A and B are shown apart, each in its own frame.
Chain A
Amino acid sequence: MLQYIGRRLLASIPTVIGVCVIVFCLMYFSPYDPAENMGHMYHLNAEQIQMLRQELRLDRPFLDQLGHWFANLARGDLGKSYLQSLPVVNMIEARMWTTLELALAGMLLATIIGLGTGIMAALNEGSIWDTFSMILALIGSAMPDFWLALMLIYLFALNLRWLPILGQGDVKHLIMPALVVGLTEAGVIARTVRSSLLEVMHDDYIRTARAKGLRERFVVTRHAMRNALIPTVTIIGINMGAVLGGVVVIEVVFAREGIGRMMVDGVLATDIPVVQGVVLLSALVFIFVNLAVDVLYAFLDPRIRLETNR
């Protein structure tokens, strides 16, 4: 098992390095010249712009800049925001928890609702309950999250006045954003759980278990669920990536001071270090989450563990 983890870790190192290179290249090949822009912003003359360019190392050759980029990364330095002159790492740190609590709350909600609905639907296949919940799941997975957010705000904040609209900090502020994330992702999870559970339930060994006279609940949990769990876990892992993206829009709508909103502000102001920093961080988180999912996968499905030991 540890061998598998070690091997997966090793395999992901080139990907991590590649991701860092890509993020660097995005900046290097972009037509945007930060020195020129800052020159406009602060009314610098040509000489000062050139000095700025030298300071930002923009006139050095490709490999030089790349090396400097990696050296900084190794030190945990993601540069300084052009707009706020704060180290990007500090900015991220300040906003990290806000985004994290939204992502986790959202995923938790999505998993609970999705799993529950999917399982119920699969066990009652063909019933009204099944059809109804699948329609809801379809709507949920197709729903534009920013629109759902607006509708929820209208209902709960403006009309019923139960919940606050903007900001973060306590549970009240977390409910609506987490609901938006949760409901949209729950749809996808529900449909996947239902189809994988159905596939498993129609398999021969389930019939055997039933023929053996095992109680239905035992059959479902011990045999069916464990096997249906594998594609489910994969989907949840992939959805983590979708959640990382979805948080961005939701943070903007609910004016939460999170990393997603930082990214949007950075893009709007073409604040390159911020954009680079956030996208790099999110890619690394995504890689890590997928690694964790793979390990979980191997834990759940012994065949994977044993197969790779050849």
Chain B
Amino acid sequence: MASSALQQPILAPQEIRRKPLTWSRIFFRQFLKNKGALFGAIYLIIIFLVAIFAPLIAPFDPLDMHPKDMLQPPNAHYIFGTDHYGRDIFSRIVFGARISLAVGLLANVFSVALGMIIGLTAGFYGGRWDMISMRFMDMIFAFPGILLALSIIGLVGKRSLSWVMIALAIVWIPMYARLIRGSVLSAKESVYVDAARVVGVNNLRIMGRHVLPNVIAPVIVVATLCIGVAIRNAAALSFLGMGAQPPTPEWGLMLFETKQFLRLAPWVTIFPGLAILITVIAFNLLGDGLRTALDPKLKVG
């Protein structure tokens, strides 16, 4: 009978069992499809765990010297071999992970924080502050990254990892500020902000509920990519002697100390460099994966 057939729900049994389509579900589905991003994520989880549990994982103290065993190739006792002081390279790389990750994360956290203050206010309030702050950002942006970091370190006169971190953070503030300002500007144009204004929601609330979520997504993508770049740049600065000082087991510093043994003991230089390379690749893959996964989500929302 036609009428009773129309009164039946049209949903097939399997459709009733399907879970609701939320943002996070869309995100994860997209993300997991991307093999590269998966590799990146897994590697980074491993590296984070290695960094956190370094004392448990490393077979030797990274600063411990065994002069009798110096410059040994990888063997059963010393997994990655030893350096010119007889220190176990594997342990040094494990502890170096702590340092590199910390520097990469902190530099970007500072940068994002300051960039967010500038970018949010510039984008939202506009006017004079926008003009002045963006001009100022342009001026900082005019300096090539590493050179500005070098000059900050040079003019402060102190060579340490903390200053490398501060210098790198300063170098990237303009990038984040512009990025965030751009997101704020485009969010401001959107319909739901207009609607909220019409209803009478106060500015701070609008910033928090409507603008901020749109700002966070690109920031997360860029920050992920930049953590990798920060790790590499910090290593480069340490390689130049500007950052970590001996005997810190920082990956770049390890390359600096052992490059003289390139002919005799190439393994000493292979492993720290490989560590930097794979870690940066992982952050790049993760960042790319996040970008692809987060983008359509923005369109859905």
Q: Which residues of A contact B (CB under 8 A)?
A: 14-15, 18-19, 22-23, 26-27, 30-32, 138-139, 141-147, 150-151, 153-154, 158, 241-242, 244-246, 248-249, 252-253, 263-264, 266-268, 270, 272, 275-276, 278-279, 282-283, 286-287, 290
From the candidates B139, B145, B148, B228, name the one contacting A242 in the complex (CB within 8 A): B145
Evaluate contact between A15 and B142: CB separation under 8 angstroms. Answer: yes
Q: What 0/1 pattern do residues 201 to 232 of B give for CB contact below 8 A with A?
A: 00000000000000000000000000010001
Q: In the complex, what residues of B have CB within 8 A of residue A267's CB?
A: 150-151, 153-154, 242
Could you tell me the distance in whole angstroms from the C-beta of A198 to the nearest C-beta in chain B?
A: 13
B146 touches A150 (CB 8 A): no
User: Apart from A158-B263, A264-B150, A279-B147, what are 20 other A-B pairs with CB-CB below 8 Å?
Assistant: A22-B140, A139-B281, A141-B284, A142-B228, A147-B272, A154-B266, A242-B144, A245-B146, A248-B147, A249-B240, A264-B240, A266-B154, A267-B150, A267-B153, A275-B151, A278-B151, A279-B150, A282-B147, A283-B142, A283-B144
Contact of A142 among B152, B239, B263, B277 (CB under 8 A): B277
**Would A286 and B155 be within 8 Å (CB), given that A19-B139, A147-B276 are in contact?**
no
With A19-B142, A283-B144 already in contact, the answer to whether A248 and B262 are too (CB < 8 A) is no
Cβ contacts under 8 Å, A248 to chain B: 146-147, 150, 240
Q: Is B136 an interface residue (CB 8 A)?
A: yes
Cα of A26 to Cα of B143 in the assembled complex, Å: 13
Selected from A144, A246, A270, A290, the residue in CB contact (under 8 A) with B146 is A246
- What are 12 pairs between A and B in contact, CB < 8 Å? A18-B139, A19-B139, A19-B143, A26-B151, A138-B281, A138-B285, A143-B280, A153-B262, A263-B150, A268-B241, A278-B151, A282-B147
**CB–CB B145/A150 < 8 A:** no
B interface residues (Cβ-Cβ under 8 A, vs A): 36, 135-136, 138-140, 142-148, 150-157, 228, 232, 235-236, 239-242, 252, 255, 259, 262-263, 266, 269-270, 272-273, 276-277, 280-281, 284-285
Q: Which of A142, A143, A244 has the most CB of B within 10 A?
A: A142
On whether the beta carbons of A263 and B147 are closer than 8 Å, the reply is yes
Chain B proximity of A292: nearest CB distance (Å): 14
For B140, list chain A residues within 8 Å (CB).
22
Which DSSP category, helix, strand, loop or mixed, fits chain B's interface? helix
Q: How far is the CB of B34 from chain A (nearest CB, A)?
A: 13
Report the Cα distance A158→B270, complex, angstroms.
Answer: 15
Minimum CB distance partner of B283 in chain A: A142
Question: Across the interface, which residues of A come within 8 angstroms of B36, CB to CB?
Answer: 138
Q: Please tell me if the beta carbons of A241 and B285 are within 8 angstroms of each other in the complex.
A: no
Q: Is the CB of B144 within 8 A of A147?
A: no
Contact of B277 among A147, A154, A264 (CB under 8 A): A147
Residues on B with beta carbons closer than 8 Å to the beta carbon of A26 = 151-152, 155
Measured CB to CB, the closest approach of chain A to B146, in angstroms, equals: 3
Contact check, B151 vs A279: say whether CB atoms are below 8 A apart: yes
Contacts of A23 in B (CB 8 A): 151
Would you call A158 and B262 a contact (CB within 8 A)?
A: yes
Please, how many angstroms separate the alpha-carbon atoms of A27 and B152 in the complex? Answer: 9
* Distance of A154 Cα from B36 Cα, bound (Å): 30
| CB of B257 to closest CB in A, whole Å | 12
List residues of chain A with CB within 8 A of the CB of B276: 144, 147
Is B269 within 8 A of A272, CB to CB?
A: no
Q: A160 CB to closest chain B CB, in angstroms?
A: 13
Which single member of B142, B228, B242, B269 contacts A147 (CB below 8 Å)? B269
In the complex, what residues of A have CB within 8 A of residue B259's CB?
150, 253
Inter-chain contact B155/A143, CB cutoff 8 Å: no
Inter-chain CA distance A145–B273, complex, in Å, is 10
Question: Min CB distance, B53 to chain A, in Å?
Answer: 25
Residues from chain B with a CB closer than 8 A to the CB of A158 are 262-263
Check if B143 sits within 8 Å of A283, measured CB to CB: yes
Across the A-B interface, give the 6 residue pairs with the lowest CB-CB distance, nearest first.
A147-B273, A267-B154, A245-B146, A18-B139, A142-B280, A30-B155
Listed residue (B144, B263, B272) with the most chain A CB atoms within 10 angstroms of its CB: B144
A residues less than 8 Å from B266 (CB atoms): 154
How close is B115's CB to chain A, nearest CB, in angstroms? 17
CA distance A268 to B140 in the complex (A): 23
Contact status of A244 and B277, CB under 8 A, knowing A144-B236, A267-B151, A275-B154: no
A147 touches B255 (CB 8 A): yes
Nearest chain A CB to B296's CB is how many angstroms away? Answer: 15
Q: How far is the CB of B145 from chain A (nearest CB, A)?
A: 5
Contact check, B262 vs A150: say whether CB atoms are below 8 A apart: yes
Closest partner residue, chain B, to A259 (CB atom): B147
When chains A and B are docked, how far (Å) is the Cα of A15 from the Cα of B235? 31
In the bound complex, residues from chain A placing their C-beta under 8 Å from that of B156 are 30-32
Q: Are B157 and A31 in contact (CB under 8 A)?
A: yes
**Residue among B142, B147, B240, B285 with the highest chain A CB neighbour number at 10 A:** B147
- How near does chain A come to B130, taking the closest CB pair, in angstroms? 15
Say yes or no: A252 contacts B269, CB within 8 Å.
no
Residues of A within 8 A of B145 (CB): 241-242, 245
Chain A min CB distance to B292 (Å)? 11
